[in-house]
Amino acid sequence: MNSESFRLDDRHLDEAKRIAGSHCKRSGCNTCYGRGWQGVAQDNTIVLCHKCVDPEAAFRDWKDYVAEIPELREHYHELFEEPADETGGETA
Q: Interface mask (CB under 5 A) for Zn ion, residues 26-65, using x and -? A: ---x-xx----------------x-xx-------------
d(CA 87, CA 68): 25
Contact indicator for 68, 74 with CB cutoff of 8 Å: no
Taking the complex as a whole, the smallest distance from the CB of residue 55 to Zn ion amounts, in Å, to 12
Taking the complex as a whole, the smallest distance from the CB of residue 27 to Zn ion amounts, in Å, to 9
Which residues of the shown chain bind Zn ion in the complex (CB under 5 A)?
Answer: 29, 31-32, 49, 51-52
